[in-house]
Structure 1
Amino acid sequence: MLQARISSPPEASTHGVESTLDQSLSSAIGLIGRQYPVMIITLLVCFGLIGTYLLVAPKRYTGTAVLMIDSRKMQGLQTQSQPGTDNPIDSAMVDSQVEVLKSETIASAVIRDLRLLDSPEFMSAGGGVLAGLSQLFADLFPEQKPSDLELMRNAIWQIQNGLTIKRVGLSYVIEIAYQSTSPDLAARIANAIAENYITDSLESKYQASRRAAVWLQDRLKELRAQASAAERSVADYKAKNNIVDAGGRLLTEQQLAEINSGLTEARSKRAEAEAKLQRITAILNADESDSKVILNDLATVNDSMANPVINKLRQTYLDYAARAADWANRYGQTHLAVVNLRNQMREIRHSILDELRRTAEAYKSDLEIAKTREEAGQKSLNDTIAVSNDTSQAQIVLRDLESNAQSARALSDNFLQLYMVSVQQQSFPITEARVITQASELSSPKTSPKTILVLLAGIVGGGMIASLVAISLEMLDRVFRTVQQVERLLQTNCLASIPAIELPAEARPKGSLRFVTRWRLSSKKEGRGGSPMQRFDLPVEPKLPGTGEIEPKSPEERSLKSNDSVGRYSINAPFSRFAESLRSIKLATDLSNFGTPRKVVGITSALPNEGKSTVSEALAQTTAQSGLRTLLVDGDLRNPSLTHRLAGSANAGLIEVVFGKADLKDVLWIDPQTNLHFLPCVATSRFSNSSDLLASPQMEKFFQHLREQYDRVILDLSPLAPVIDVRATGSLADSYILVIEWANSKIDVIERVLKETPLVSERMLGATLNKVNLAAMSRYDSNSGGYYRNQYYKRYGYVD
């Protein structure tokens, strides 16, 4: 077992102060890099509090709008002069308009337009926190509710009290200023006073224009009725004769084009189906004994090559043919193995021909469907041509009706245009007053509070709070994130940091596989009203090579189908960081064999879902690929996830072999690429005494037998925290590897389970960090951040 590396404090030197400063700076930079989202959120919260204070603090704003009284007429927009527009505007008239702006009529219109009676901001006494407290006490001690007339009088008084209207010098310019606790409200009220003044002057002109438009409106109604009647006649005639157009073309014409196109496609498909049927019929009529002709012709049929059954049979046939030729050269044509291979090749040819016959039947069905579609398309084409001829005759009358409808609609539209022009000329919004400066929120000055000083204080305070929050979260982050943490806290080697990998969507497992067994566990009820608890009736001696009681599966059925699993990633991607990490673990297991034999390596974790089964499979594949005789054993009797994933159809495994229900050679599953042997674990129900089976003498003797047959045995065990099964494997495993999920496994949990399981602590070969985000890990390990950079690995051909 490798010696545990324990970090020691740095030796004192003359550069101790500089080293401390460098470490502090690196730690600060690393903390910011890890906790910057939280720090940003904290700063945003502080800024939000500052903004809230700035919003609720009482402020006074002044909105100013500028109005101009102009006597010039807009000749381009008005054809007739209005009475009194030629009279010059004197000084007295401007002063009179100032008083009009201060009148209750304008104030009442502003209150109605802006709905100020429903605005708590306008109706409050002075705004800010004090106004809110006053409103709270008023709600707690309500008085008699004032009437609508009193509310309106108070609102008018409040507007007139905050309103300042003055003439600018001797000009025709009037300045409208309003003070409020809200810049938006101040600007809106100032603008509303100017707009309502202009609206009041336009109201009289609008009333006069309405009387002039009555006759034109009545005549327009008559013309619209005539146009609608003509258009209704067109619509009725189309409905009666089934004339439908879409996009400027008759529906029958579009249907004719579509049916013709569909008929052409149906004929093409029919011809294609006939060609396919003829080709596959020719292959079936060939001499069955001529295997070369059948296989060569089979390669020319695209659908047969897309058939997975034929592809598999053809590949198997080619493999057998190559093997038969090789054996014939070595042992002669009459050797029994060569004869058996030729018999199997003949059976495969018959299977290929049977599959081709089923494909031919499918081609016949496709041909019949194509012919039926062609006949239906031809019939639809003939029917559509007949309907199109009838529609062409009805279009002659339809054109006359459409011409009449268009004429009536054009006359109605022309009269409507004349009506609109007349209304615009008589009621065009022309007044002597116009707004030359709009009041806005940005142009409303503010006197308090001092926004810049408050923001500066908020930035400084927010930065300090954000730093405290980041430090607190860093102290509360009790999970494993770096190699140094693992070695320092667990006093063991960190064998590797296995990166998280993302498989393609089509390669991910599609659910748990169903697994069955041919024998049941005996049960008995324990306790009062308790549920049945499962137990094992262990035999006196395990029947390792004896006659089993379960029908074994064939070698082809016991071939591992794990090419796209995560555990196979180290084989499928040998130049990846994932594969390099597994080779590091494999090297550690090799070095641990020096001195004492440590063939059985147990893989466990503190909690489920930390990836121990995946690491077990990947380590076993890596070890097997190196040439060692390797056996992967699913020793998680409570939840055999490896069996579900790698051998879901297994009907016997570890338990059956120990019980003497099956032979070891009949239940082993073999990876054809790496020659990895896998011993599954099959169970049909939960049982409580799995630890008794693991600690039994029969199990110990069975594993001693495995040590003699294999160079390395990888034992996938259950987690340490939920169950106690790992404590019962002292006589089975020579050493243990602890799998820790990066950024998820709690330090306190792992320390507790290792303290409760001294067997694992004493024999621990090392730990490994699993599902590591290397980019994020570099932020937590500031001293070794460059170690995780991928560009160094690219120089040696390694990629992620």
Structure 2
Amino acid sequence: MATDVEIDVRALFISLLKALPFIVIFTALVGAGTFYLLSNMTPVYTSETTVLIETGESDLTRSTSSTETAAVLDREAVTSQVQLIRSGDLAKVVASKLDLEAQPEYQKAIKDSSFVKDLLVDLGLARSPSDASIEERVLAEYYRNLQVLAIADSRVITISFSSTDPQLAARGANAIAAEYIAMQRSAMRNTNEDATQWLESEIADLREKVAAAEASVAAYRVSNDLFTSGGQTPTTLNQQALADLNAERARVRATRTDAETKAAQIRASLKSGAVPNITEVLNSQLIQRLIEQQVALRAQVAELSATLLSGHPRMRELNAQLADLNAQVTAEAQKIVAALEAEVDLSAAREAEIERRLTGLKATVATAGDAEVQLRALEREATAQRELLDTYLLRYREALGRQNGDYLPANARVISSALVPIEPSFPKVIPMTAAAVAAAFLLAIAIFLVRELSSGRPMRRVAFGAPVPLVPGSMPVGGHVRWADGQRRMMTSEPTLAPLMANEAEQSLARISGDIVAGGRHRILVTEADGGDESRRPLAAAALTRALARVDRRAVLIDFRRDGANSDAMCEGGNPPGFTDLYAGAASFAQVVLRDRRSRAHFIPSGRLPLLPKILTGDRMATVLDSLDETYDHVVLDAGDDMIEVLGPSADIAMVVSEFGAADPRTARAFDRITAVSSADIMLLIVDPATTGKALAVADVREDAVTGAAA
């Protein structure tokens, strides 16, 4: 049906207001029914326990032999704990402790029988409940009521358990958390026992290895004479002797140097006539007494020199005694020098002996270097085995102490225990009722709008009259199509478009488009008989193109009229390029092929350049039409008398629109013009502007039918 429709929003809104009471009643019924159903449903309560995943080891009991800190549980570890909480072993323990099998809601799950399910089981579309054990059915219901979630960006896990009994919901969540922590402790206990047994066996092996390593060190030391001295830094005896000889040599050398220096100083003092100021000289008691006697004699000489001359016998006696004392002091000093020189000779001899012993000892130490290297390797091996044994012993004592003391912290703790819920988690009567009311209200409006739009009442129809096919060989008589005055006033001017076809022509136009599609007619030529009012001619070409598009056919209209009335009716406005511009090469297909503003049909305006039929001939015209044939299912050619000779030969079917009778000479001339240039079938549409529009029957007619009517 080739109609163009516009939605009358005002009429649609008025219809909606009229239907508002029914919409409100429907919404109220849905709301009341929803509220009643939800209020009579068995409420489900949900309780939640929160568990924090962290290292439960205390700083006081954490192993002091390990330098590693407690590992921070990552996202994967937390996810693993979620799966552990949902594990089947934990579920079985919790179900047994809570005696879920005896709970009423789980009794329903165990029976799990209904007519529909029994029918599905009989048809083989569902599994029979008897195939599963009671425990499996209880666990299936348990998992339906359990929800375990890990909170994002944290190490917190929430355990939610649902039940129709609020007490059971709280006990279930707490029991799951408690059993999870107990399983953690049990796993740590088992791990600790396994570690203790492993350490015990390793310690026994290490003890044997340590004993063997230390025995090897002792045997090697004995065989290679690599005994060590005591002290904080044990060294071998050869190394200790070498160090002692070096120290002794330094001491002897220092003694010899000191004696040589003192002897030289004494000789220098004696040569100058002074008393040597040397410790050995000053500490000699004999020299001290001689010096005291010298002092006393010098005092007497000084005292007597005042009264006696130097030649006086008393003065000569005192001077002789003083000279004798000086000789005695010198003699004693010479003895000290001789003693120092003897000490120098002794020190030199001892130094030579030490050098000889050092040379021999160095050779011995050098030859013992390889043995010491091997000894140190054996000692390192023994030390490593000993340290490993000590470490294992320490860990073994710690593990044994934990096992005996029953201190096994878990890597999780409950931070929020489940409480008995007061409000049910399902159903939420008020929110769900409100949602149902809103959905029902919107659904009712949508259904009403679809029904109204389908009925056509809120539409303003734009339709063109269409012919109704006749039996071949007969001519249409009686009946006319008229354009309504009201519709005529809606049309624009310059050029004045023809009035719209009456609604009664829609069925005829639908049938004619159906015949075109069924017959596989590709190019359709549309023209008018002579003598009609050109300013008010019907836009049959546009109506036919839209009718073809309505039945999902790709249709394009080419306007070969100078007034461009059909393309103006399909265009949004303006003066776009058209066929003449395309033919002249001034525009491309993409520029001239436009979309109909009210359907999926396409059209090509006449164009901005003059439309000259003599120019629109030749191969280029055929090429353009062939290109459109490849793209579209139907090409509608809207042509006047001047274009029939050009377009008629290539048309598959033609449609003549006339305001006169079928036997009118003007209608016959239109048939003659087409049959003169084309062998295509011709369809006739007769309209009468003097009456209300009614579609006249139209048929596929040939020249003989028209000729007979004219006669």
Taking structure 2 as the reference length, the TM-score comes to 0.28
